[in-house]
Chains A and B, each alone.
Chain A
Amino acid sequence: MIIDGLINGIALGCIYALVALGFVLIYKATHVINFAQGEIMMFCSYICYAGSTTFHFNFILSFFFAVIAGFLLGALLERLFIRPLIGYPILPVVIATIGIAMVLQSVAALIWTFEPQKLDPFSGSPYQLWKVSISPVHLWTIIITFILIFLFSLFFRHSLVGIKLRAIAEDLIGSMASGIPVRRMYNFTWGLAGAIGAVAGILVAPVIFIHPHMGSIGLRALPAAVLGSFGSIPGAVVGGIVLGVSETIAGLYLPKEIKDVFPWLLLFLVLLIRPEGIFYTYEQKKV
């Protein structure tokens, strides 16, 4: 029972980690919390759903279709609403992301209505690994997440674009001066975050039904990002998995009311004990 809980928790945690990764990418580049991340996730899982039902693609094709759509959606949103706000203080930009979330949610509701939809590509009997049974959804979630995170760390460490992104996160003016196309990089970051959101949305879709309000799962990943010190990629992953596992374990023993708000209770615990998060690196503001 506890092993099952652990595996469920890791799978849930992987989804949290992916969503938190989306938050962290945008936060690192622009110091903005993108409250529309959950809605991008929701929208892309709808696109995947539309791909497999309306256009009759097979699942792999509609998966990639949705990921590419997620990338384009993120880039488009940046171009339309965030680019005009470069140079603004953080607060209006964050409010703009809330506006984006509202628009995406209502557009999804207008197109696909509030009827919950089912998207379950990983159906099948659970696999038996040693004495533990693991359902295909969870297995694939964990595998895909770890592959993605591995690719990401390679990307950020070794590719030129990744290094440019890190440079922008470190010092905006300096990287502008050394000829990094900052705007294009921002655009790319949003696209990347959108693509990750798409993956998270498709992976979470079999667990919960697709629904215009499923973006609130994305908000539940925020405590994971805080736990992993907002702005650190390994932090987001570890925070996500810690949150997922502890939420599932807590769900086994505590009443349902506590389980529903568990991420938020954890958030307050983190804020009380170590508000900087576990992956905090000491930074001095230059004055």
Chain B
Amino acid sequence: MRTFSVKIGSRRITLSDRMIQENDYRKWWIIPVVAGVYLLPLFLNEYSIYLMNMLAATIIGAVALDILCGFCGQLSLGHAAFIGIGAYSYGICHMTLAINPIFSLFIAGFTGAFVSLLIGIPSLRLKGLYLAIATMGFTFITDEAVRFLRAWTNGVEGFKISRIIDIGFVQLNSGDAGFYYFIYTLVIVAVIFSRLLLESKIGRAFTSIRDSDVAAEVSGINILLYKVLCFAISSFFASLSGALMGIIIGMISPEDINIMQSINYLIMLVIGGMGVVYGAVIGAVLITFLPEWISMLSNSFLPMTVDLSILQYLIFGLLILFFIVFEPNGVYGRWTVVKGYFKTFPFNERKVGRIAWIYRWR
């Protein structure tokens, strides 16, 4: 056991590291998960690799929304717009202007971050849900703008993006296992980044704005600055995920920029667990594979006349309501409760290790 001492006034107090081990940051289950992710392509066919790559891009998008909604408590309904902006700016940089793809990825991210400043600064000045309304409007505006700027974006026909990227020493095709390793490395970087962000001064500022903006302000946190910063970081990752999505699909069109897409990401957070990075990851996995399961089930149980997309929409709506009403902490929150239950079995308290994201927001 390590000990160290601190001096307060004239007194000297010795602490042991047992005392300061407040959170267990060592999550050992991460190691098999990461190893499994890297070994997976050995057993997958081409279509599954494509799905897994899409999943990776979705995870980055979900983590991006978690930074905004979960950490900072700001609701955005314009996530799809930033994803679209990322894809289009990657496409324009890489295809039209022939810039190196890695640079183009970064430019796509920074374009999103820059646009988010234009939206965020006017709409985050007030307390309230103005950001939700403004981002929703921004989605419609982006959609129209993409159609309007035909010369750059190729309008309704959609913009073709090369599925091959050259990362310096090797060329990767987005259908191959090589791209799989590349994109999952990015996912891990994004997850680690957001974990570190949450533990840093900046992340604490975000969560304190979420929990009590007055207290945050009198503690010396510039609310507008940090809200805008949060929105910018979130939009950076959203645009990055959009660019990756564009590479994987090989195509982006204005139909992809709609409110429903943004709400999909919101559903991931609600189901996985808002305010927790792993929750966003779990939610992204579930929501990516849920449509497949729904179609499988409906094929075996329902008559063919039922429109699958309506059914999926209905189920997603019911899922939101179910989780918000019965388990607002999502799957991850429920899992921590279960874990706490078994850890202390049979001496359980009523509330064990519950990570509550149900914060006050006014």
Contacts and interface: CB of A to CB of B under 8 A. Distances in A.
A/B: CB atoms within 8 Å of each other:
yes
Interface of A: 31, 33, 81, 84-85, 88-96, 98-103, 105-107, 109-110, 219, 222-223, 226, 230, 257, 260-261, 263-265, 267-268, 271-272, 275-276, 285, 287
Contacts of A85: 324-325
Interface stretch (B95-103, B130-138, B190-198, B286-294): B130-138
B30 interface: no
Nearest to B269: A95
Contacts of A33: 129, 132-133
B214 A285 contact: yes
Contacts of A263: 137
Interface of B: 69, 73, 75, 122-123, 125-126, 128-130, 132-134, 136-138, 140-141, 144, 147-148, 214, 263, 266, 270, 306-307, 310-311, 313-314, 316-321, 324-325, 328, 358-362
B361 A100 contact: no
Contacts of A95: 75, 266, 270, 320, 324
Given A94-B75, A260-B144, A88 B328 contact: yes
The 3 closest A-B pairs by CB, nearest first: A102-B317, A264-B137, A99-B320
Contacts of B214: 285, 287
Given A84-B325, A92-B270, 13 more contacts: A33-B129, A88-B358, A89-B360, A89-B362, A90-B362, A98-B266, A100-B317, A106-B310, A257-B147, A264-B138, A271-B130, A271-B134, A275-B122
B321 A100 contact: yes
B134 A92 contact: no
Contact of A267 (B129, B133, B148, B311): B133
A156 B32 CA distance: 62
Contact of B317 (A84, A101, A268): A101
Contact of B313 (A93, A105, A257, A276): A105
B140 A103 contact: no
Nearest to B316: A102
8 contacts: A81-B321, A85-B324, A98-B266, A99-B317, A99-B319, A99-B324, A222-B133, A222-B136
Nearest to A231: B128
Contact of B130 (A88, A102, A275): A275
B325 A230 contact: no
A186 to B, nearest CB: 16
Q: Chain A binding site: helix, strand, loop or mixed by DSSP?
A: helix
B148 A257 contact: yes
A91 B126 CA distance: 16
A91 B361 contact: yes
A245 B147 CA distance: 26
Contacts of B319: 99
A261 B310 contact: no
B325 A31 contact: no
A166 to B, nearest CB: 19
Contacts of A90: 129, 361-362
A23 to B, nearest CB: 10
A197 to B, nearest CB: 18
A120 to B, nearest CB: 26
A172 to B, nearest CB: 11
A229 to B, nearest CB: 10
Contacts of A84: 325
A35 to B, nearest CB: 8
B321 A268 contact: no
Contact of B128 (A110, A230, A267, A268): A230
Contacts of B266: 95, 98
Contacts of A226: 130, 133
Given A33-B129, A257-B148, A261-B140, A271 B123 contact: yes
Contact of A276 (B126, B137, B141): B126
Contacts of B320: 95-96, 98-99, 102
A222 B136 CA distance: 10
Given A95-B270, A100-B321, A109 B134 contact: no
A91 B321 contact: no
B313 A102 contact: yes
- Among B73, B137, B214, B270, chain A packs the most CB atoms within 10 A around the CB of B137
A105 B312 CA distance: 12
